[in-house]
Amino acid sequence: MGKKTKVAIAIAAASAAAWAGSKAIIKPQKREDKEVLQYGRPIVLAHRGGSRLAPEHTMIAFEKAHSLGVDGFEIDIRLTKDEEIVVFHDETVDRTSDGTGSVKDYTLQELKQLNFGYHFEDLDGEFPYKEEMVEIVSLRELFEAFPNMYINIDIKDHPDTYEGSLMPSKLWRLIEEFDAQNRIVITSFYSEQVDRFNLYAQNQVALGAGENDVRKAFTAFTSQFGHLYHPKVDVFQIPVKHGMVSLDSPRFIAFLAKLNIPVHYWTIDDEDTMVSLVKNGAKGIITDRPDIAVSVLQSMAEESNEAE
C-alpha cells in the first residue's frame, strides 16, 4: 500500500470518526413554536395581495384576496421620506401614472397623489384602473383594515441605506402598537435585516429565512453533517428552484420539518405545481392567483378527508 493511499485512508477514517462523534453528542435543535405558524393544513398567502387579480399592494387587491378566503398576505415594505412604512415592492415609483424617482424621495401624502393601479393589466388584457386613482397603502392602514390576518412582511430596503438602518426599529414599534406579534412573519432577502429586527423583537415574532439562511440549510442538508445545523429562523419561504438547485424535494422539506420549520413556496400560480408541492410536504403556497390556490387546497383537503 502506497503512502498516498495510507494518508487517504487515515483522513477518511478520521472524518468518519468525527461524523460519528458529532452525531452522538450533538442533537438537532428545533425551533420553538410560533403561534402564527400553528396551522393544521397547508395555507394560501396572496402575493402582494394577489397581483394578477388586482393592482399589487393596493387595498383593492387585499380586499379581493380576503374575500376569496386566503389565510394571509405576503407583502414588501419600504420607508418613505417622512419615515412612514409603505407596502410596496419596487425601489422606484415608475410604475405609477406619473411618478419618477425612489419611494424614499416621497412623503406618504405625496405618494398618495400617484395612481398605483395605472399599469395593472387584468386577465383579459385590459387596464381597468388607468382612470381611477388607486392609492398606495401604508402598513398602518393594512394592520387597521385586517386585524386578524397572517401577514408575511419582507423588508426591501438595503441594510446599508439610511432607510434600511431605520426600518427594523420602526417596524417593531408599529407591530408592538398593534399587538400584532402573533400574526406576523418578518423576512428579508438580506438576512442582516432579520437579525437587526430580532434585536428589538427578541424572538417574540416569527422570522423567515433570508438568502444566507437558505444557503446554510441546503448545504447542511446535502452534507453528512445536517445534525450540526442550528436554524435561526422559523419558516422558509423559497422558490421551487434557485439557479440550478431544486429546493422542492420531499427530503429537504422533511429535513426542515424535523426542525419545526414549515416551508412555503413562491410564486406559484398553476394548479399542477401547487398539488405537487403540497404532496411533497409544503405547508404554504404564495401566489398571485389566490382564486386558483384557495380552490386547489380546499379540494385537496376534501379529498383527504374523504380518504380518511
Per-domain residue ranges of the chain: 30-90+137-307
Please give the pLDDT value at position 28: 56
Please give the pLDDT value at position 308: 62
Please give the pLDDT value at position 97: 84
Q: What are phi and psi of 102, to 5 degrees?
A: -100, 155
Whole-angstrom Cα distance, residue 32 to residue 204?
11
Residues of the chain with confidence (pLDDT) below 50: 4, 6-26
Please give the pLDDT value at position 27: 55
DSSP code for 87: E
Of 253, 254, 290, 257, which Cα lies nearest the Cα of 271? Answer: 290
Please give the pLDDT value at position 24: 42
Please give the pLDDT value at position 16: 43
Please give the pLDDT value at position 137: 98
Dump strand ranges (E) for the chain. Answer: 43-47, 72-79, 85-87, 137-138, 150-155, 184-187, 206-207, 236-239, 241-242, 245-246, 263-266, 284-287
Please give the pLDDT value at position 76: 98
In angstroms and rounded to an integer, the radius of gyration of the C-alpha atoms of the chain is: 22
CATH architecture of 30-90+137-307: Alpha-Beta Barrel (3.20)
* Region class of 222: left (phi > 0), else alpha (psi between -120 and 50), else beta: alpha
Whole-angstrom Cα distance, residue 99 to residue 119?
12
Please give the pLDDT value at position 33: 87
Please give the pLDDT value at position 282: 97
Please give the pLDDT value at position 11: 44
Please give the pLDDT value at position 302: 82
Rounded alpha-carbon distances, angstroms, from residue 179 to 184, 196, 204, 221:
10, 20, 11, 36
The helix/strand/coil state of 149 is coil
Please give the pLDDT value at position 210: 86
Please give the pLDDT value at position 289: 98
**Predicted TM-score of the model (pTM):** 0.88
The set of cell numbers assigned to 257 is: 420539518
